[in-house]
Amino acid sequence: MSFSIESKLGDLLDNETTKAILEKHLPGISTHPQIGMGKGFALSMVAKFSGGLITEDLLQKVAADLAALG
């Protein structure tokens, strides 16, 4: 399975490798109090509702690291 910022946040958090990528760029995302609400949505969609916490720049850095996984 390949991962991208279009993958569901829950799927990214359930995989140790992709979770580490998220934590690298978005420290604390896996333990955020409201994370449960976003797990069924693509990371790119969650970013739009993050109140600026997940910027386009951070999203692109995550995307590049996920793409590097192959």
Instruction: Express each pLDDT in 8-54 by its tens digit.
Output: 999 999 999 999 999 999 999 999 998 899 999 999 999 999 989 89
CA distances to 15, 16, 19, 50, 59 from 56, rounded to whole Å, are 23, 23, 19, 11, 5
pLDDT, position 1 = 72
pTM across the whole model: 0.92
Using DSSP's 3-state secondary structure scheme, residue 64 falls into helix
